[in-house]
Amino acid sequence: MRKKVIFKGIALPWLLLLPQLLITGVFFFWPAGQAIYGSFLREDAFGLSRQFVGLENFTEVLADPNYLAAGWTTVVFSTSVAFLALGAALYLAVQADKAIRGANAYKTMLIWPYAVAPAIAAVLWLFMFHPQIGLFGRMLNGLGVPWDYKLNGDQALLLVILASAWKQVSYNFIFFMAGLQSIPKSVLEAAAIDGARPMRRFWTIIFPLLAPTSFFLLVVNIVYAFFDTFGVIHALTGGGPGQATTTLIYKVYVDGVQNLNFGSSAAQSVILMFIVILLTAVQFRFIERKVHY
């Protein structure tokens, strides 16, 4: 069923669309256009000389082993963050949905971390896991675990994954809670009467009925891991040690803002833009079909 509104002229619809079009234009199309334009140029930091270099920035970036390594780091990082954040949130939501004393207090506390800014979240984790001044960092070292994320790349990656996932759990939790509450109780009760145990009820009823929510959250989480984790990485590891925690978006920042290499940074942004367009298109086209709405 489709609703159609008929306008008399074309002025009013355009007027109504205008604010949205302006915002999209100013905050999306214009900067994206600038990035595409900049990706074909090579200029000095002060902008005194510029040179058109065609696709050279792209070929250079794609041939750079450090860029490819950052790409792989991003894949590991994003999938880990997405699955960890989704898994933890789903578990917590299912637990909080049970009839327990003080459920609302738990729910509120689980939602809290979402209000914490990424950089502050990173500082919290730093104070917990810093090998010398962190509570857990010292404890680990005291137990004989050689914990030093400033020098051990795997530990550093693990730490930024944990910190980033922790930040996102609250968001996922809210959606899963809402999803759980919309599942009709009668269906679950019927299954229980038929003798289905809790685990079976979860996998055969709750999980499939949560699929639309899960799918939506998967997209949101991957986009989050791609773009919104900059603050956590910047404050916690600065992309190091070596380049162990340099993701694609972090590299865009390092090359553009720190190294003032605008052409390369713009080319990387354009590549990132295409990755995200592709990712979203693939997700909606192919995965969506298998989800029961």
Which range touches other proteins (CB under 8 A), out of 28-36, 81-89, 213-221, 238-246? 238-246
Instruction: Choose, by CB under 8 A, the member of 11, 48, 100, 115 that binds other proteins.
Output: 48
Instruction: Choose, by CB under 8 A, the member of 238, 276, 279, 291 that binds other proteins.
Output: 238
By the rule CB under 8 A, 243 interacts with other proteins: yes
> CA 64, CA 21: separation in Å to the nearest integer?
38
Q: Which residue reads 């803002």 in tokens?
A: 257
Which residue, 53 or 205, is less far from other proteins as judged by CB?
53
Asked if residues 249 and 226 have their Cβ atoms less than 8 Å apart, the reply is yes
DSSP state of 9: S
φ/ψ (deg, to 5) at 101: -70, 135
Which residue, 154 or 194, is less far from other proteins as judged by CB?
154
By the rule CB under 8 A, 283 interacts with other proteins: no
> CA 91, CA 30: separation in Å to the nearest integer?
42
By the rule CB under 8 A, 68 interacts with other proteins: no
By the rule CB under 8 A, 132 interacts with other proteins: yes
**What is the tally of helices (H) and strands (E) in the chain?**
14, 2
Q: What is the 3-state secondary structure (H, E, C) of 59-114?
A: HHHHHCHHHHHHHHHHHHHHHHHHHHHHHHHHHHHHHHHCCCCCHHHHHHHHHHHH
Phi-psi region of 172 (alpha: psi -120 to 50; beta: other; left: phi over 0): alpha
By the rule CB under 8 A, 182 interacts with other proteins: no
By the rule CB under 8 A, 268 interacts with other proteins: no
Which residue, 213 or 261, is less far from other proteins as judged by CB?
261
Which residue, 24 or 258, is less far from other proteins as judged by CB?
258
Q: In angstroms, what CA-CA distances link 246 with 73, 165, 197?
A: 7, 17, 45
Q: Smallest gap, in angstroms, from Cβ of residue 80 to other proteins?
A: 21
Q: Smallest gap, in angstroms, from Cβ of residue 290 to other proteins?
A: 41
Q: Which residue reads 């200029």 in tokens?
A: 43
Q: Smallest gap, in angstroms, from Cβ of residue 37 to other proteins?
A: 15
By the rule CB under 8 A, 150 interacts with other proteins: yes
Q: Smallest gap, in angstroms, from Cβ of residue 150 to other proteins?
A: 5
Q: Smallest gap, in angstroms, from Cβ of residue 49 to other proteins?
A: 4
**Of 162, 171, 161, which is closest to residue 112 (Cα–Cα)?**
171
Instruction: Choose, by CB under 8 A, the member of 81, 177, 254, 266 that binds other proteins.
Output: 254
Asked if residues 212 and 291 have their Cβ atoms less than 8 Å apart, the reply is yes
By the rule CB under 8 A, 49 interacts with other proteins: yes
Instruction: Choose, by CB under 8 A, the member of 71, 153, 212, 231 that binds other proteins.
Output: 153
> Which residues of the chain form contacts with other proteins (CB under 8 A)?
42-49, 66, 132-133, 148, 150-153, 238, 240-243, 254, 257-261
